[in-house]
A = this chain, B = another copy of it.
Amino acid sequence: MSQYWSQLVHSLTPYVPGEQPKVDNLIKLNTNENPYPPSPMVLAAINEQTNEKLRLYPDPNSDLLKQAIADYHGMQTDQVFVGNGSDEVLAHCFQGLLKQDAPLLYPDITYSFYPVYCGLYDIDYETIPLNDDFEIIAEDYQRDCGGIIFPNPNAPTGRLLPLDVIKQLLEMHPNRVVVVDEAYIDFGGESAIALVNEHPNLLVIQTLSKSRSLAGIRVGFAIGQAHLIEALERVKNSFNSYPIDRLALYGASASFADEEYFQDACQKIISTRETLVSAMSEMGFKVIPSAANFIFASHPNKDAEEIALALRERKIIVRYFNKPRIDQYLRITIGTDAENDALIAALKEIIG
């Protein structure tokens, strides 16, 4: 606390990201990173740009990357916004689109950065409880609101919402923006980008951090009709002209050119996930059906936090949230097959 702080700062409750341990001999299944390296084409593109041109500012509009994303998803470049990780894109959405004169709605169990953004931008919100199976029920959102946001698949549950339910939400609130945060969509979901051209109130957000193995270079993007993208551009250009650096710009763009590598990595993760789900179900875990690169699971006879601590003793880190309704669950990132085998062996020891 300090007399010099803005009033806002006193009331902020900052987000706490998953631990980034500085030692190397851990099996790190706590922050939903991809266990496979980025495409060699990405590393080659970055190497090529590591030169004297770093003295120059990057393109403030990141046109190369917008074009790559637009081409990949069959959209126009004015339907694409890019930012320094999808967290920055989300922040601009909250400030530029979701701050309205009625409360924002999102699920009670969801990405824990959402209430932090509401605090940062003084946005009124209401949380809508998921049902007992951790599902979003469209009818529960039939109320006055300033907008809706949810991850799909949801985090930390991993559960996927089908496109027809998203369509229902879009049609329920045609004058409000619905943001679908698709950080994990490439691990088995169907993207709502397919609905953008019909729905002026839909914004879809994705990231290169998970399915494209690029958490280290911080690139996220949004796709929506041009009038929604313009709001984000106006906020971005009032905040930071050059959020995407030269190396991230070229590396991220190259990632969209290596479709085979991308599909292969996603398929391997899906397959490892199915192995893990089977093994944990056999051990008596309740596992929420996951379309993400993580699973959310609970054991009827063993406290979740205890399991997390016991895994940590075995040098395996997973994420535990000490929060209502989910304090008996663990969120476990899907690793390589070898990491998965080590995890299964450790869980067998712990559950006994």
Contacts and interface: CB of A to CB of B under 8 A. Distances in A.
Nearest to A219: B245
Interface stretch (A74-82, A160-168, A187-195, A207-215): A207-215
Contact of A218 (B46, B231, B243): B243
A245 B242 contact: no
Interface in A3-20: 3-9, 12-17, 20
Interface stretch (A113-121, A282-290, A338-346): A113-121
B50 A3 contact: no
Main secondary structure on A side of the interface with B: loop
Interface of A: 2-9, 12-17, 20, 22, 28, 31, 33-38, 42-43, 46-47, 50-60, 84-85, 87-88, 91, 95-100, 116-117, 119-120, 175-177, 200-201, 209, 213-218, 227-228, 230-231, 233-243, 245-248, 251
Contacts of A200: 4
A20 B57 contact: yes
Contact of A58 (B87, B117, B216, B238): B216
Contact of A213 (B31, B55, B120): B55
Closest 10 CB pairs of A and B: A37-B52, A14-B237, A54-B216, A216-B246, A2-B227, A55-B213, A17-B241, A6-B99, A57-B215, A120-B238
A37 B55 contact: yes
A55 B84 contact: no
Given A3-B175, A54-B213, A217-B247, 18 more contacts: A2-B228, A2-B231, A9-B97, A15-B241, A20-B59, A33-B57, A34-B55, A37-B55, A43-B51, A56-B215, A57-B209, A57-B215, A57-B216, A58-B216, A84-B84, A87-B242, A217-B246, A247-B248
Nearest to A44: B50
- One complex includes copies of this chain to the number of 2
B31 A55 contact: no
Nearest to A265: B55
Max count, chain B CB within 10 A of own CB: residue among A36, A43, A56, A175: A56
Contacts of A247: 46, 216-217, 245, 247-248
A7 B122 CA distance: 13
Given A6-B98, A240-B88, A216 B55 contact: yes
A56 B216 contact: yes
Contacts of A59: 20, 22
Contacts of A47: 47, 50
6 contacts: A4-B201, A46-B247, A54-B213, A54-B217, A57-B209, A120-B235
A293 B201 CA distance: 46
Contact of A50 (B43, B98, B177, B209): B43
A143 to B, nearest CB: 19
Contacts of A216: 53-58, 245-247
Contacts of A214: 54-55
A175 B233 CA distance: 36
B242 A6 contact: no
B97 A239 contact: no
Contact of A95 (B8, B14, B42, B227): B8
